[in-house]
Amino acid sequence: MTETLLTLNIEHFRPLIGETFDVQVNPQEAFEVVLAEASLLGGDVLPTSGRQPFSLVFRDASRRLVPQAIYQISHAALGTLDIFMVPLQPDQQGTRFEVIFT
C-alpha cells in the first residue's frame, strides 16, 4: 500500500513500532532507522488535514548525525514518503529523529 502525507494518521504507524525504515540521504547515501514511538500531540482534529496531530520518533543506533531536512523514507507497508526529519540529541541508544504530522 502506498500512502500520501495527506492521508496518513497515527494508526498507520502504531503497528510499525519496532520496524525498520530506510532513509535516503542522497543518491549515494542511505541508512536505516527503527520506529521507536508514535504519539498523539493532543488537541482537536485539524480542519486542514482531517487528523489529530502526532509525532514519530525514529532511532538510529549508529549515532549518525545528519541535518534536519526533507528525507525520502520507505517501508514496505507505506511505500516511499518525503518527510521532514529533525535530529534530536543523541543518547546512549543512538540518535533519535522526530517527525511531526499536523
Asked if 59 and 33 count as a contact pair (C-beta separation under 8 A), the reply is yes
The pLDDT tens digits for 46-96 are 777 778 889 999 999 888 889 999 999 999 999 999 999 999 988 888 899
Residue 61 lies in a domain: yes
What are 1-35's pLDDT values in tens digits?
A: 456 777 899 999 999 999 999 999 999 999 999 99
Q: Is residue 4 part of a domain?
A: no
Query: Does residue 14 sit within a domain?
Result: yes
Phi, psi for 14 (deg, rounded to 5): -55, -45
State whether the Cα torsion 95-88-9-31 is positive or negative. negative
Q: Report residue 96 as a C-alpha cell.
A: 533519535
- 74 within a domain of the structure (yes/no): yes
Residue 75 lies in a domain: yes
The domain in which residue 16 lies consists of 10-101
> Does residue 32 lie in a domain region?
yes
Residue in this structure with the C-alpha cell 503497528, named with its chain if needed:
15
- 69 falls within a domain: yes
Total domains, the chain: 1
The residue assigned the cell 493532543 is 42
> Would you state the pLDDT for residue 5?
79
Question: Which amino acid would we find at residue 4?
Answer: T
Q: Are 84 and 69 in contact (CB under 8 A)?
A: yes
What is the pLDDT, as a whole number, of residue 40? 92
The answer as to whether 3 is a domain residue is: no
